[in-house]
Amino acid sequence: MNELEILQHYWWFLISVLGAALVFMLFVQGGQSMLCCARNETERQLIVNCLGRKWEITFTTLVVFGGAFFASFPLFYSTSFGGAYWLWMLILVSFVVQAVSYEYRRKRGNVYGTGFYDSLLMFNGLFGCVLLGVAVAMMFFGAEFTIDKGNILDGANPVISRWSATRGLEAIASWRNLLLGATVFFLARTLAALYFVNSISGEEALTRRMRRAATYNGLVFTALFVVFAVVLLSSSGLRLQADGTFAAEPYLYLHNMLSMWGAGVVFVLGVVAVLYGIARTTADSHWHKGIWYCGAGTIAVVTTLLLMAGWGDTAYYPSLLDPQCSLTITNSSSSEFTLRVMSYVSAFIPFVVGYIAYVWRKMNAKPLTPEELAGEPHQY
């Protein structure tokens, strides 16, 4: 590979890791969808404040993920974020109401009451996870768009990519996209239950219910993930040919997994880590570290799935209207100069990750208890 190709593969790896981190951080949304499990005001406040310590990290990860895509693969950014307008607007609205809810649910003069904002949090918990899953699924199963760079000279409508009239809403009607959306939703709920077990103390009844919730949601997630994995690995995909055209290849993602055997090993280890975290939390009533095994496993699995979508001359954004308009990391990336300069900046990533880990550790130095919550000068 030449330097440009190395940089393209490097930045797709970073994008994959960021996407995996975002999926892990969706445990905040999963926890919000479980507010209905609270049986009294103390439990509700414990859940909200436990998640309130982390919701900004999820939002920031989403913004960084989008920003990294914009800088490294701008054609995807303009095609997806600008074309699938209504889908991304629904996702944006769900995250905006989340931010508003955390900031205003206990403000003085709140005429709507905390129940109204809790409903918005549950709205974000459900639709935020499902719709993000749908958006990611288009990277495997395709979207209804075409690309013509000559359109930039069209004074009346200078838009490179053009979508079907529904502008992304059609993706929600695809059962394969919804399958991944549901899988992400139940994964988020499973991670949230494990996070509560790890982070809340002093409410044994709530902890026991969260252990059961981890079991039930984990079983549903496992079933959905198995179905999704079978559907994905048995699906056809588009691979870029030597002459610059795309050709459909049966079992493309299975072939990618077998050829990238290192990624396949990480994928299997990630699945094992997720299952171990769920199973041991269920079996051992004194063990509370399942979130770390499931979290690490989630990041490993999602990273390898995204690598299989972009590496190996695979179309990571297939066009259902015109396969030859599909996007790969080679035809949608920034210039070599831009990627090289950003690569220098990416050297600071370990320091940022270290800082986040330090802050996380300080905030979670001890589990949240009703007594500690009562002493908090500011509650969400």
Q: Domain range holding 159? A: 3-374
Q: Answer yes or no: is pLDDT of 376 > 70.
A: no
- Residue 187 forms part of a structural domain: yes
pLDDT tens-digit profile of 44-79? 999 998 898 888 888 888 888 888 889 999 999 889
Q: Answer yes or no: is pLDDT of 362 > 80.
A: no
Number of domains making up the chain: 1
Q: What is the pLDDT of residue 204?
A: 87
Q: In angstroms, rounded to a whole number, what is the distance separating the alpha carbons of residues 140 and 145? A: 14
Q: What percent of the chain has a predicted confidence (pLDDT) above 90?
A: 64
- Residue 352 forms part of a structural domain: yes
The SS3 of residue 103 is helix
Q: What is the pLDDT of residue 42?
A: 87
- Residue 100 forms part of a structural domain: yes
- Residue 380 forms part of a structural domain: no
Q: Answer yes or no: is pLDDT of 162 > 90.
A: no
Residues 6+ apart with CB under 8 A from 98: 29, 32, 55, 59, 120, 121, 124, 128
Q: In angstroms, rounded to a whole number, what is the distance separating the alpha carbons of residues 99 and 111? A: 18
- Residue 379 forms part of a structural domain: no
- Residue 283 forms part of a structural domain: yes
pLDDT tens-digit profile of 239-289? 999 898 999 999 999 999 999 999 999 999 999 999 999 999 998 888 999
As a whole number, mean pLDDT of residues 293-306 equals 96
pLDDT confidence bin for 235, thresholds 50/70/90 = very high
As a whole number, mean pLDDT of residues 326-353 equals 89
- Residue 248 forms part of a structural domain: yes
Q: What is the pLDDT of residue 293?
A: 96
Do you know the residue count of the chain?
A: 380
Query: What is the pLDDT of the chain when averaged over all its residues?
Result: 90
pLDDT tens-digit profile of 187-220? 999 999 999 999 988 788 899 999 999 999 999 9
Q: In angstroms, rounded to a whole number, what is the distance separating the alpha carbons of residues 361 and 288? A: 16
- Report, in this order, helix, strand and coil percent for the chain, each rounded to 5: 70, 5, 25
- Residue 121 forms part of a structural domain: yes
pTM, 2 dp = 0.93
